[in-house]
Structure 1
Amino acid sequence: MVAHLASSGESWHRPQLVGIVNVTEDSFSDGGRFLAPADALAQARRLLAAGADVVELGPAASHPGAEPVTADEEMRRLDAVLDHLVAAGVPVSVDSFQPRTHRFAAARGAAFLNDVKGFPDPGRYAELADAGCRLIVMHSVRRTGRTDPRTVLTGLERFFDERLAALQAGGIDRERLIIDPGLGYFLGTTPEPSLAVLARLHAIRTRFGVPVMVSPSRKSFLRAVTGRTLAEIGPASLAAELYAARHRVDFIRTHDVAALRDALTVLAALDRHTGS
């Protein structure tokens, strides 16, 4: 579904919606709520009913201060949930940077692997080339203090230039690659780098010519900009997600699929009415 805003010339694009299920004890947004397989499956079904195209399972938190989780524990958390969703024909993404978890997820039928470290090990590229799933290559450079957004953007471009070239040289088809520029703590402790990256989404997508995923949902930079608490950050998350959709990202990873789906639906309906 693609809609056009006649008044502004911008394009409203229907991205794929990736619903987040954190199968963790200490996720910043909902840690512990979906750790039990039955609870995780129930949440996945709610997200699908709300309009999710993909369900992403996160077996370990990645925010600063999160407790390390072994690959064995990640696989234990994923085991029953992943099998049930794949058997039901649901496209599943698994959010992990651990090679053993990647192998496990790919063998069990995951459609996507999402690595917050961006698949840094060239020694694994031949193995990844043989896997059938798509790879979400994330840019993640945690900085402290105030950072010049231009430095972040320059580093982001260098990172993706080098990493995409390396993955392709390792035998991985470019058509399987998706990039995530990272937001929030993945870029720094102040909001400016995240805002700069969001403002440059169209340029990033154009430069690299591969699908782009973003995940502003409930991120720290939105709380810093608005002064809202985590419980109050829904409207700010939706605003950032709609901005990303306007700039034609391909995937939006979100906690609140229903709100984003409804907002995109209303914008498309308004645009159709305007053009009639």
Structure 2
Amino acid sequence: MHSHPPAAPGPSHTLPAGVGDDASWVLRSRSVSLERPVVMGILNLTPDSFSDGGRFLHPGAAVQQARRMVAEGADLIDVGGESTRPGADPVSAEEEAERVGPVLRALAAELDVPLSVDTRRASVARAALDAGAEIVNDVSGLSDSGMAGVVAAAGAGLVLMHMRGTPRTMQSLTDYGDVVDDVAAELSASLERADAAGIGRERIVVDPGIGFAKTGAQNLELIAGIGRLRARLGRPVLLGASRKAFIGALLGGVPADARDAGTVGACVAGLARGARLFRVHDVRGARQALDVAEAVFRAGRMAP
């Protein structure tokens, strides 16, 4: 894996919230340490993603961007071939696989960081794992009946994200009682599907699905409630807030490409609440901010 300066050593009681027996995430051929914040760089191979659609459609441009993110401190690269922004139209499984396959093969041959495929479809996941991916990032929480079996057979890592409906319908499905409790309950059902397929818990991290079937206020409640999610589900939490609409709204309507500073704020707040993995567009800013915040939090825990 790409190496970074290690976090300051200290006795076990100084580890950040959520780090303990599950201080690593087990993938196909290696483990990712969670004893320091893990940054997942976003690589969208789509013409219509809300932030960077169309920028990395050519495999050469995609590989160059992945190289840049690793140089800036990305621990993982997450490759997606279908936009899941609110209102997005689906693409065929064949087209999605054709987008991600060549790029994953090129990245697997060149980079030494684990690769993730962002997909809801078992057939795309299978092709991506064959092309070199080690992680399936499923925004639908195993809605495809074949997905859990594909992940289990490959021994892959899995991100289970919370979403209701589809990208076209999800923003009409924001009726919750207590949003943190309800998201935890629905993610728990996804974990049970993973268990039934034989996916070990050590291979799974959970994602509350910021912006997916959530209002702006609910997104804030979920970030504030990450500690509760972690306690309820017993798995490390990934936060994917990068450049999302609630950040733009909080900042007076700034466009997606002007939300990186706000994203850093969300990441640091999530870190303070116990998140250990962060999916971002701007790797350099998130990496630096999270490393500094982590050092401060550790120093506080080590103080008498």
TM surpasses 0.5: yes
Alpha-carbon distance between aligned partners in 2 of 1:124 and 1:234, rounded to the nearest angstrom: 33
Equivalent residue letter for 2:182: G
| Residue 162 (structure 1) aligned with residue 189 (structure 2) | yes
| Residue 244 (structure 1) aligned with residue 266 (structure 2) | no
Task: Say if 1:250 and 1:75 are closer, same or farther in 2 by CA, change over 3 A.
Answer: same
Task: Say if 1:131 and 1:265 are closer, same or farther in 2 by CA, change over 3 A.
Answer: same
More moved, 61-70 vs 50-59: 61-70
Alpha-carbon distance between aligned partners in 2 of 1:183 and 1:273, rounded to the nearest angstrom: 29
Alpha-carbon distance between aligned partners in 1 of 2:192 and 2:98, rounded to the nearest angstrom: 34
State the match for 1:216 in structure 2: 241
Deviation at 1:265, TM superposition (A): 3.2
Q: Is the 8 A contact 1:11 1:247 kept in 2?
A: no
State the match for 1:33 in structure 2: 55
Alpha-carbon distance between aligned partners in 1 of 2:73 and 2:185, rounded to the nearest angstrom: 35
Q: Is the 8 A contact 1:71 1:100 kept in 2?
A: yes
SS class of match (2:242): coil
- How many residues align? The count is 269
State the match for 1:131 in structure 2: 154
Alpha-carbon distance between aligned partners in 2 of 1:169 and 1:77, rounded to the nearest angstrom: 31
In the TM superposition, 1:1-276 aligns within 5 A as 11=16, 14-88=36-110, 89-141=112-164, 142-144=170-172, 147=175, 150-184=177-211, 186-188=212-214, 190-227=215-252, 228-268=254-294
User: Unaligned stretches of 5+ in structure 2?
Assistant: 1-5, 18-34, 165-169
Task: Say if 1:202 and 1:270 are closer, same or farther in 2 by CA, change over 3 A.
Answer: closer
Equivalent residue letter for 1:256: D
Equivalent residue letter for 2:131: R
Q: Percent identity?
A: 37
RMSD: 2.6
Q: Is the 8 A contact 2:121 2:144 kept in 1?
A: no
More moved, 256-265 vs 114-123: 114-123
Deviation at 1:226, TM superposition (A): 1.9
Q: Is the 8 A contact 1:97 1:117 kept in 2?
A: yes
SS class of match (1:182): coil
Alpha-carbon distance between aligned partners in 2 of 1:78 and 1:49, rounded to the nearest angstrom: 21
Alpha-carbon distance between aligned partners in 2 of 1:183 and 1:144, rounded to the nearest angstrom: 15
Deviation string, structure 1 residues 243-275 (Cα, Å, up to 9, x no partner):
111222121000011001112333456678887
Q: Is the 8 A contact 2:125 2:147 kept in 1?
A: no
Q: Is the 8 A contact 2:79 2:117 kept in 1?
A: yes
Alpha-carbon distance between aligned partners in 2 of 1:22 and 1:47, rounded to the nearest angstrom: 13
Alpha-carbon distance between aligned partners in 2 of 1:50 and 1:119, rounded to the nearest angstrom: 32
> TM-score under structure 2 normalisation?
0.80
Alpha-carbon distance between aligned partners in 2 of 1:35 and 1:56, rounded to the nearest angstrom: 15
Alpha-carbon distance between aligned partners in 1 of 2:241 and 2:79, rounded to the nearest angstrom: 17
User: Unaligned stretches of 5+ in structure 1?
Assistant: none
> TM-score under structure 1 normalisation?
0.88
